[in-house]
Amino acid sequence: MHLRIDVSWLLDVQEAALGSEDMSVADYSALVAAVARHKTKLPTLQAADPDAAWRAAALMHTIVRLEPLPHRNSLYAAFVAAQYMDQSGEGVDPPYGALSELVRKIRDTRLRVPEIADQLRAWKL
* CA of residue 28 relative to chain centroid, distance: 15
Instruction: Tell me what pLDDT residue 47 has.
Output: 62
Distance CA 78, CA 89 (A): 17
Instruction: Tell me what pLDDT residue 18 has.
Output: 84
Q: How does pLDDT run across 70-98, given as a tens digit for each residue?
A: 989 999 999 999 999 999 999 999 999 99
Confidence of residue 5 (pLDDT cuts 50, 70, 90): very high
Q: Please give the helix or strand (H or E) that residue 119 lies within, else none.
A: helix 113-122
Q: How does pLDDT run across 8-50, given as a tens digit for each residue?
A: 999 999 999 888 666 789 999 999 999 999 888 766 656 667 8
Confidence of residue 55 (pLDDT cuts 50, 70, 90): very high
Q: Which of the two residues, 65 and 22, has the higher pLDDT score?
A: 65
Q: DSSP label at 122?
A: H
Q: Judge if pTM exceeds 0.85.
A: yes
Instruction: Tell me what pLDDT residue 42 has.
Output: 65
Domains of the chain: 7-122 (1.20.120.1870)
Confidence of residue 107 (pLDDT cuts 50, 70, 90): very high
Instruction: Tell me what pLDDT residue 123 has.
Output: 97
CA angle 54, 58, 59 (to 5 degrees): 120
Please give, one letter per residue, the 3-state secondary structure of 72-117: CHHHHHHHHHHHHHHHCCCCECCCCCHHHHHHHHHHHHCCCHHHHH
